[in-house]
Copies of this chain bind each other. A is one copy, B any other.
Amino acid sequence: MSAFDALVEALRRLPGVGPKSAARIAFHLLQHDREGAHVLAQALERAVAAVRHCRRCNTFTEQEVCATCLDPERDRTQLCVVETPADQAAVERTGSYRGLYFVLMGRLSPLDGIGPRDIGLERLYARATDGEVSEVIIATNFTAEGEATAHVLAEALKARGLTVTRLARGVPIGSELEYVDLGTIAHALVDRR
């Protein structure tokens, strides 16, 4: 296979990149941004070699334990469970959470064959029952799979004697009721305060 075709093949493995965009990206890199191609190659090799999972919270880190878990300023009694590092970053950006995290690196998805073992729920249960954590805040996504995951987690963690809470469902800030979907309004009515 030619070097160009091999590059197109490799690009097609990326999520959301089909044959046409793979060819377009390869053309762009070789014609207009060979420096970018080299930088990307280096970044890929470096990340594959260096990035591993935090032993405590399971997020991506280059150390044995990530900086967040080591931060003495964080509240060790709260544990926020998210699906991915991107979700963790979103919660961090709010600036309104000072506890620790556990990153599932996925969600339960029986249709895709992703069960409790694939996303390491046992590790979460062990982490949450370390004696310091008193409240687990479940911040999985509000999708069908995220909600199912939240349900399973809540049952298991409550059975271990922990206080389990879930991010509030409701009407997003800045939205007009007319354009909010009915399920969201119904939940906001039930959870009114």
Q: Measuring CB to CB, which residues of chain A are less than 8 angstroms from any residue of chain B?
A: 2-4, 6-7, 9-11, 13-16, 21, 23-31, 33-34, 36-51, 60, 62, 84-86, 105-106
Contact = CB atoms under 8 A, between A and B. Distances in A.
Nearest to A59: B4
Given A16-B24, A16-B25, A4 B85 contact: yes
A47 B23 CA distance: 13
Contacts of A86: 23-24, 27
Contacts of A33: 13
A115 to B, nearest CB: 16
A117 B115 CA distance: 58
A186 B91 CA distance: 56
A164 B105 CA distance: 59
A2 B62 contact: yes
B48 A34 contact: yes
Contact of A47 (B3, B28, B45): B3
Contact of A40 (B14, B30, B34, B62): B14
Contact of A13 (B3, B6, B36): B36
A47 B40 contact: no
A47 B21 CA distance: 17
B62 A31 contact: no
Contacts of A106: 31
Nearest to A20: B86
Contacts of A10: 36, 39-40, 42-44
Given A30-B47, A31-B105, 9 more contacts: A3-B49, A10-B36, A14-B36, A23-B86, A27-B84, A30-B48, A37-B48, A40-B44, A41-B48
A73 B21 CA distance: 32
